[in-house]
Structure 1
Amino acid sequence: MSAGGGGTGGRGGLVGIVLVSHSGPVAAAVAELARRLAGGGEVAPVAAAGGMPDGGFGTSAELICEAAHKVDGGAGVALLVDLGSAVLTVKALLAEGDELPSGARLVDAPFVEGAVAAVVTASTGADLDAVAAAAGEAYGYRKE
Structure 2
Amino acid sequence: MSGAGPLVGVVLVSHSKAVAESVAALAAGLAGDGGRVPLAAAGGTPDGGLGTSSALIAAAAREVDRGAGVALLVDLGSAVLTVKAMLAEGDELPDGARLVDAPFVEGAVAAVVSASAGADLAAVVAAAGEAYGYRKQ
TM-score category (smaller protein): over 0.9
SS in 2 for 1:122: helix
Aligned to 2:15: 22
Greater relative contact order, per chain length (Cα 8 Å cut-off, separation 6+): 1
Identical amino acids, percent of aligned pairs: 75
CA distance in 1, matches of 2:117, 2:77: 30
Runs of 4+ with >6 A deviation: none
Aligned to 1:43: 36
CA distance in 2, matches of 1:82, 1:116: 14
Does the 8 Å contact 1:8/1:127 carry over to 2? no
SS in 2 for 1:86: helix
Q: Give 1 or 2: higher helix fraction.
A: 2
Unpaired segments of 5 or more residues in structure 1?
1-5
Aligned to 2:26: 33
**Which residue of the other structure, out of 56, 70, 87, is the alignment partner of 1:63?**
56
Aligned residues: 137
Q: TM-score, normalised by structure 1?
A: 0.92
Unpaired segments of 5 or more residues in structure 2?
none
Paired residue type of 1:72: D
Q: TM-score, normalised by structure 2?
A: 0.97
Calculate the aligned-residue CA RMSD, in Å. Answer: 1.2
Does the 8 Å contact 1:43/1:119 carry over to 2? no
